[in-house]
Structure 1
Amino acid sequence: MRVLGIIGLTILLQACGGGGGNTTQNQTPTTPPVTPPSGSTWQSGVFASEDVFKNRCEVPRTGTDLNGNTFPDIQGTTFDEQMWLRSWSNDTYLWYSEITDQNPQGFSTSIEYFNVLKTEELTASGAAKDNFHFSQSTEEYESFAQSGSQTGYGINWSFIRNSPPRSLRVSTVEPNSSASDAGVLRGDTLLSINGVDFINGSDVDAINNGLFPENENTETEFVFERNDGTEVTLTLRSGNFEKSFVNNTKIIDTDAGRVGYFRFDGFQRPGQTPLIDTFQTFVNANVTQLVMDLRYNGGGLLAMASQLGYMIAGPNQTNNAIFESSRFNDKYTNTNPVTGDSLSPTPFYDREIDWDSSTFTNRQLPSVNLSRIYVITTDSSCSASEALINSLRGIDIEVIQIGGTTCGKPYGFYPTGNCGTTYFTIQFQGVNNKNFGDYADGFKPTVSPQFDDELPGCVASDDFNNPLGNEQEGMLSAALFRMTEGICPSSNDQVLSSFANTKKTSNEENDKLSVFDARYRAIMLENSINTPILESQEK
């Protein structure tokens, strides 16, 4: 899913008072009565303020959050949680008028109700208009947002096909993880998990539980097929590991000049320093060409995308230019409905950000000052990745696209927590310096572009037989060929080319693994901090 910018966590924190007094043993505990808030009766088309229902929870949390703040929860009901979701969605959802207003009492859980609080309209290609509506445990979200750490085996997956016969391959393996220690390799194809057939099996819950463990120290048996056709059985133990965001940085000498290449897997807070260091390396090496590999980059902080745009284009091309402007629903044409601030565009940021103090440092960002770049993409290139492409085009940087159509998410949201769950609902659309932001079907590499969402470039398939960063790897090889020869390589398989440019239809979306859809987008989470100078948005 896309989430841009530096976003303040929207969980309201308030202290809870307690009373004194003596207690006696064997005293029967009592639950305080729940007083229904004013306006708590559902009436079609009538919406009470979301504040009426905020933090009224069926099961209030006790203790403190990851930052040591007392949970704000008070006793409420599932109906209160649902009514908060209803009012919040009606107020802030970009397409609020396309939500069918349904009585919450017809849904047993808050998440079940949240899942219907979105538009069912389709894009021009027949894909779901809103394909980025999901929720996640607040604790899990905050942990990843603050440190980039997540629970799992250290495997990043590439979902080739999500319905039987399924196809799932290892795209990358995180260093210092269980998968790395066990010898999992890029390109490994999953055959079974804990004895359950992954390809055609019907036990979706067992598959999801195995792929996405909720807790550490969960042992799971995987059977993979290697690229050479052999099978290997590996037992992996889940753990908490930190994701590496900047990888495979290298300098490549070509007939077209000195090329800087790097793979960037997420616009997340921990990636800022290595990203700046990478561009300083490119500046020191006097690179004249740049290949930016965003094939697995699902998005992140809008502010970091803005920084990267500056490091590519430099001060002259970004001077007084807009990186992105946000458009909310028609209730809020001048004001941000989440922050209450007046709307103002995001510029190209030229300095390092101090995340702890939410301010800029005095460190000026390096820049390679290029007017043309090559970007490697797949349908996993999403959100902030697409915003970066769009914003560079907005200041007339030529973007040559290599690979496949991006995911199509010119939208963003403010992750908002309530009662232990963080919800992600589309709240704004981003547009560039030229006021363009209509790429809901993704950016497409095209030999001869005719439409605004088509970019000059070459279709190429993800090559699982070669390491990422290897000059023989299919996508990087195609980028270097296009750079030196001025044309696309002629060896692209037409079937793969067709697949790479095919968007998923709404029916295909329904065939996905039930948990995969949300988890896939959760990996794209954008970090968030409260900041007075940087608008808190995620893409």
Structure 2
Amino acid sequence: MKFYKFLLFAVLATGLISSCSDDDIVVTEPKEPEETLTIEGNLDLEIKDFIWEAMNFWYLYKAYVPKLQDDAFSTEKQYITYLDEWNSPESFFENGLVYSEDDFSWIVDDYEKLEASFAGIRKTSGANISLSFINRSESDDLAGIIRYVIPGSPADEAGLERGMIFTEIDGTQLTLGNYSTLLAPDTYTLGLAQFTGSGIETTGENITVVKQQLTENPILVAKTIDLNGIKVGYLMYNSFVHNFDGELNQVFQEFKNNNVTELVLDLRYNGGGRVSTAADLASMITGQFKGEVLIRTRYNDNIEGLLSENAKMTRFDDMIFDSDESDPGHENHTPMPINSLNLDKVYVIATGSSASASELIINGLAPYIDVVHIGEKTVGKVQASVTLYDADVPYYEKKNLNPDHKYAIQPLISTSVNANGQAYPEGLVPDISKSETWDNFGVLGEPTEPLLATALNQISGNRQLEEAIKAGSFTPVFVAESNQDEDAYRNMYIDDLPKIDPAKIKTPEFKK
């Protein structure tokens, strides 16, 4: 039986072999070995590698992003394969590494444009605009109002003024769905309107504005008001821009020269800016707290473990430096003594447009002096970011840059509390509630402007400006601001990363 089975197998095998012709034989060519991906020499991977390493080390929300963990990859090949899966550095950063709850980290492909924006340079008509519903219960139609105009800007030259209302752009009614698109072109025509007793009506008048590169001085109004013998300093300050710290300091020198004893700091449209400028401003307002803690900064768990407590503190100071303070010892910079008012009370106008460094001023000063917040609940932006370049680790400063590209990232790296451990993630609630009304916008810096009048009444202890405060009945339902599509919108940033002992820095195993 066994022999039979063997014979049958042999016959079948012979038949199969004999039935195959030469034409049926398929010869398989040996495969070429797959090309091994490497980061070196591949610019796309170099950029993504820089992004991952910088985020892995500094990102505030590292713990919430699985692919940013030190053990996220078992081998370098696995890591490189992951980088290669993303079709662009932007997609990799925004969709692969940024925590879902983070709306304030971003990436740029040209860090020079980013640096310009931090210096107050941007393309704009010069009109700062707020957009609100006309009648929310009836439609999504919007109206815009000019909050202020940059002096000498195209908007100023075209005749736009604070308080002007418009409902159309290039003949199209503004709505919740189209306002961003209508405000985007470099040239557009505003269809003006006015507030009447029955609402907002068009006037038929048009004004055309053109955008251009402008440098905006954040000091819009600075003046001394004589309030029945009380010298009140008024400062409308719209962004914490380091390039204007010298001018800001000069304003406080003029306040001192004018014997100012009370200060109204107007931050109603100030969305934030540089932390060190905020610290300098806090020191100008006070002066008696040099060396005391203004804010305590918190980082991700990894960074927290590498820093001393002192390295996490931003303190009141008595000097300004004329450039970036990242240079150790500031050897290359000229110090400028801070002009301080030594106040024990300050009145701050802040609204739903006030964020980041504006809120830091209020919160940081609160443990030391009486801060009277007039206006509205603020945004509640407590995190700070930093610009990280493709350069030497771990600071990624603008030194020894990769010359082959201009990508940089601006991730959130820290949050902060004041000296009492208090923060404001839900926003700061005003001591005295007061909103702008479109039918009584007022002139900025004039004692009859409603929000300033509210502060002056508190200072004087009488109600001489009561009529200015009460006037106005149309409080808009806020929707948007004209600058909200800019990267630096409501951003608070630092330039000086805390220094870390290189010996304490651990490299992920797969990167060794």
Q: Tell whether the structures are fold-level matches, with TM greater than 0.5.
A: yes
Cα 1:220–1:413, aligned 2, differ >3 Å: closer, same or farther?
A: same
Q: Aligned AA for 1:423?
A: I
C-alpha separation in 1, matches of 2:36 and 2:204: 60
Paired position in structure 1 for 2:274: 301
CA-to-aligned-CA distance 1:145-164 (integer Å, 9 cap, x gap): 3x422112112222436994
C-alpha separation in 1, matches of 2:152 and 2:158: 10
CA-to-aligned-CA distance 1:257-298 (integer Å, 9 cap, x gap): 221111011111232122111111111111221100011111
Cα 1:111–1:197, aligned 2, differ >3 Å: closer, same or farther?
A: farther
C-alpha separation in 2, matches of 1:429 and 1:530: 15
C-alpha separation in 2, matches of 1:196 and 1:83: 46
C-alpha separation in 2, matches of 1:170 and 1:278: 26
Cα 1:82–1:468, aligned 2, differ >3 Å: closer, same or farther?
A: same
Contact 1:188 1:227 in 2 (8 A): no
C-alpha separation in 2, matches of 1:88 and 1:190: 45
Matched, 1:425 2:397: no
Paired position in structure 1 for 2:65: 99
CA shift for structure 1 position 531: 9.3
Contact 1:404 1:461 in 2 (8 A): no
C-alpha separation in 1, matches of 2:276 and 2:365: 14
C-alpha separation in 2, matches of 1:415 and 1:140: 12
Structure having the larger proportion of residues in helix: 2
Contact 2:249 2:339 in 1 (8 A): yes
Contact 1:351 1:361 in 2 (8 A): no
Contact 2:447 2:453 in 1 (8 A): yes
CA shift for structure 1 position 143: 1.9
Task: Spell out the pairing of 1:443-454 with structure 2 (5 A cutoff).
Answer: 443-445=428-430
CA-to-aligned-CA distance 1:36-71 (integer Å, 9 cap, x gap): 336xxxxxxxxxxxxx8xxxxxxxxxxxxxxxxxxx
C-alpha separation in 1, matches of 2:380 and 2:229: 31
Contact 1:192 1:199 in 2 (8 A): no
Paired position in structure 2 for 1:346: 314
2:311 partner SS: coil
Paired position in structure 1 for 2:292: 321
Percent identity of paired positions between Structure 1 and Structure 2:
24
Q: Aligned AA for 1:188?
A: M
Contact 2:290 2:317 in 1 (8 A): no
C-alpha separation in 2, matches of 1:105 and 1:75: 10
Cα 1:422–1:495, aligned 2, differ >3 Å: closer, same or farther?
A: farther
Matched, 1:133 2:105: yes
Moved more, 318-327 or 290-299: 318-327
Contact 1:256 1:484 in 2 (8 A): no
C-alpha separation in 2, matches of 1:420 and 1:307: 31
- Equivalenced residue count is 419
Paired position in structure 2 for 1:457: 432
C-alpha separation in 1, matches of 2:310 and 2:232: 42
Contact 1:144 1:150 in 2 (8 A): yes
Matched, 1:378 2:351: yes
CA shift for structure 1 position 530: 6.9
Cα 1:522–1:232, aligned 2, differ >3 Å: closer, same or farther?
A: farther
Cα 1:416–1:372, aligned 2, differ >3 Å: closer, same or farther?
A: same
C-alpha separation in 2, matches of 1:161 and 1:36: 54
Contact 2:348 2:371 in 1 (8 A): yes
Task: Spell out the pairing of 1:93-172 with structure 2 (5 A cutoff).
Answer: 93-99=59-65, 101=67, 108-116=87-95, 117-120=97-100, 130-136=102-108, 137-145=110-118, 147-160=119-132, 164-172=140-148
2:377 partner SS: coil
Matched, 1:412 2:398: no
CA shift for structure 1 position 98: 2.4
Cα 1:91–1:238, aligned 2, differ >3 Å: closer, same or farther?
A: same
C-alpha separation in 2, matches of 1:300 and 1:292: 16
Paired position in structure 2 for 1:76: 43
Cα 1:189–1:310, aligned 2, differ >3 Å: closer, same or farther?
A: same
Q: Aligned AA for 1:174?
A: I
CA shift for structure 1 position 304: 1.5
Q: TM-score, normalised by structure 1?
A: 0.67
Task: Spell out the pairing of 1:172-321 with structure 2 (5 A cutoff).
Answer: 172-199=148-175, 202-203=177-178, 206-207=181-182, 209-210=184-185, 218-226=186-194, 230-255=203-228, 257-314=230-287, 316=288, 318-321=289-292
Paired position in structure 1 for 2:361: 388
Question: Residue 441 of structure 1 is aligned with which of 426, 430, 440?
Answer: 426
C-alpha separation in 2, matches of 1:466 and 1:244: 21
CA shift for structure 1 position 492: 8.5
Cα 1:174–1:524, aligned 2, differ >3 Å: closer, same or farther?
A: farther
C-alpha separation in 1, matches of 2:90 and 2:254: 46
Cα 1:85–1:472, aligned 2, differ >3 Å: closer, same or farther?
A: same
Where relative contact order (Cα < 8 A, 6+ residues apart) is larger, the structure is 1
Contact 2:356 2:491 in 1 (8 A): no
Contact 2:483 2:489 in 1 (8 A): no
C-alpha separation in 1, matches of 2:340 and 2:489: 29
1:309 partner SS: helix
Contact 1:261 1:293 in 2 (8 A): yes
Greater Rg over alpha carbons, structure: 2
Residue ranges of structure 1 left out of the alignment (5+ in a row): 1-33, 39-51, 53-73, 122-129, 211-217, 446-455, 501-507, 534-539
Task: Spell out the pairing of 1:507-522 with structure 2 (5 A cutoff).
Answer: 517-519=484-486, 522=488
C-alpha separation in 2, matches of 1:257 and 1:421: 52
CA shift for structure 1 position 495: 8.7
Matched, 1:331 2:299: no
CA shift for structure 1 position 391: 1.3
C-alpha separation in 2, matches of 1:256 and 1:82: 62
2:191 partner SS: strand
CA shift for structure 1 position 107: 5.9
1:522 partner SS: coil
Paired position in structure 1 for 2:73: none
Paired position in structure 2 for 1:36: 37
1:209 partner SS: coil
CA shift for structure 1 position 444: 0.8
Q: Aligned AA for 1:412?
A: A
Contact 1:259 1:289 in 2 (8 A): yes
Contact 1:248 1:261 in 2 (8 A): yes
Q: Aligned AA for 2:235?
A: F
Residue ranges of structure 2 left out of the alignment (5+ in a row): 1-34, 69-81, 391-404, 500-512
CA shift for structure 1 position 196: 4.1
